[in-house]
Amino acid sequence: MRRFFRFVVALFEGLRKTLHLLLLLAIFGFVVGALQGSIPKMPDDAALVIRPEGEIVEQQSGDPLEVALAEARGLGRNETTLRDLTDAIEAAKEDKRIKTLVLEFDAMGAAGQPTLDEFARAVTSFRESGKKVIAYGTGYGRDSYYVAAHADEIYLDPMGLVVLEGYERYRNYYKSALDKLGIDVNVFRVGTFKSAVEPWIRDDMSPEDRISSQTFIDSLWSTYIDVVAVARGMEPAALRQYVDTLSPTVKAAKGDTAKVALDAKLVTALKTPLEVEKRVMELAAKDDEKETYRSVGLDDYLRIVRAEDKISRHPDARVAVLVGSGEIVDGSGGGGVIAGDDMSALIRKARLDQDIKALVLRIDSPGGSVLASEKIYREVLAFKETGRPVVVSMGDLAASGGYYIAAPADEIWASPATITGSIGIFGLFPTAPRALDKIGVNTDGVGTTPLSGELRLDRSVGPAAAMLLQATIERGYEDFLARVSKGRNKSRDDVDAIAQGRVWSGRDAKDRGLVDQLGSLDQAVAAAAKRAGLEEGKYERDYLESDKSWAQELVASVETSAASLMLRVAGPDDLMSARVLQAAKRDFGPVEREVVRFNRYAIADRLYAHCFCTPY
């Protein structure tokens, strides 16, 4: 009997293990299915079709799951990365399977001029291979037209328009609103032109900020006109006249905006989408099944060429490229910010990798935390101490803290339209005794030192605390000047004369010695390789990114796949609600960002080097 029971127990144990194994196999099958997408097919004699969606950025911001969910809801993307665009176009230039490049701009959002310049340079490089570039849009704005102007042929819908609205810098100011709420914002800063805190202490733009802002947006607009005019083979004066007289010219043309653009030679011809298809079919093979031209989209093409690239690469000598995009914040962070701890760790990783012969920092940042900036600065110095070169390539913005981390580089490259400088420091601390007084709440008590109770939200900042904070800010500014002075081989006073929080365009910054060269990321990488003694074609460009564990990748992929599957059965009401939420986020996003920034900066013991200077 005992043997029988042992047999039964062993049988059930074996059955349990078998079922457990089957369950694990089922889970594994689900995971593999979640991780494995459809394998894209690469046609021959095809057109590469690029439709940038949303803002063009250096790095994707936000949670990857939220991005995937937005796409699953049919809402498209909020962002397209510059690297994806340039990598695809660069690969297609040498790819015999790609016969032409088609650019469609109807879903493209905003982008900084330096970002647009990198995109346009890739388009021009593609054209130099002898292949045609076709641009199409139902309408072109300032940013999309900058890139389209570099195409061989620009087509506009007969009902479309081309509006080049120029650059502006308008901000919301909150002083009166804060006064009504009884909130005082105590500001401590150094720099005549350091305007980052003005929205909370003024109701309008200061004269100093007005001068600085007008100077750099005029410089951006001048650069825009010159570049676009050259790309279109027209005189800059003619392009300016089109922009300045658009309203009366359209009125005289009885509202025919497309004809006005055609007459001004801003577009090659007016064509409908079907007519553009026919034109592309003359350049690429026809897809008989779909009655259109053979094509491959951006995402599928990148999956193909990046997989092929991984197989063929032999990265014994590498130039590391580290992209830092967004505000500089303390600690660790996700996409859309430069987290001091994360970026420092990546630079340290590059320093310890002997196959990395040079480091290129691609900076697109308005700055932020001084402490986080200092951490990054120290790691850059440590990399330089190994004898390997550091080169900075500036994107749209490399101002304030963004310039702080660039200062120690051996060489700094910028676009003529990069916004940089803004060398200055500030701190702020809100107090609300007047708000409490309005509802009859009073604060009283005793303390043991001159600083006791002087940094409370319910009391005004006292004189001892104000003196301490201002002294700290002034020391921070001197430290900033010292970093720049050392990195740029200038005296403290020479740096101070061009600092004071003033913002400069890349061209003006070069004239003042804050930037060494004007050019692209590719040129900066080549300069770094040259400094490292690497021959052209004998090194690889290696983008450094924070590593995710296998488990993190797995969980993220399964979450995304499961959520996408659920959304496929969502009704139209669900999709409509999502679109309404997206529209609200777009319209109220600027106010939301101001609230987040204020909350981030309203800490008494923190210093910030930040430039709120985006002109678009």
Per-residue tokens: 306? 């990046």
| Residue 292 near residue 268, CB atoms below 8 Å | no
Distance, in Å, from the CA atom of 216 to the CA atom of 213, rounded to the nearest integer, reads: 5
DSSP notation for 555-580: HHHHHHHHHHHHHHT--HHHHHHHHH
Distance, in Å, from the CA atom of 191 to the CA atom of 206, rounded to the nearest integer, reads: 13
| Residue 167 near residue 133, CB atoms below 8 Å | no
Distance, in Å, from the CA atom of 264 to the CA atom of 260, rounded to the nearest integer, reads: 6
Helix, strand, or coil (residue 284):
coil
Per-residue tokens: 307? 């997989």
Neighbours of 370 (CB within 10 A): 28
Per-residue tokens: 349? 């990783």
List Cβ neighbours of 558 (8 Å cut-off, separation of 6 or more): 30, 31, 34
Let me know if 505 is a catalytic residue: no
At 159, give phi and psi (nearest 5°): -105, 15
Quote the Cα angle for 369-349-522, to 5°.
80
Query: What separation in angstroms does the CA of 136 have from each of 76, 108, 145, 200, 385?
Result: 19, 12, 10, 43, 50
| Residue 393 near residue 354, CB atoms below 8 Å | no
Q: In what order do the strands lie in the sheet with 153-156?
A: 269-270, 153-156, 132-137, 98-104, 46-50, 295-297
CA atoms within 13 A on the CB side of 216: 29
Catalytic residue from among 99, 131, 194, 271: 194
| Residue 222 near residue 506, CB atoms below 8 Å | no
At 225, give phi and psi (nearest 5°): -60, -45
Catalytic residue from among 400, 485, 505, 557: 400
Let me know if 400 is a catalytic residue: yes
Nearest to 135 by CA among 147, 127, 126: 147
- Beta strands 367-369 and 608-610 are antiparallel
DSSP notation for 253-271: TTT-HHHHHHHTTSSSEE-
Q: Name the residues annotated as catalytic.
A: 194, 400
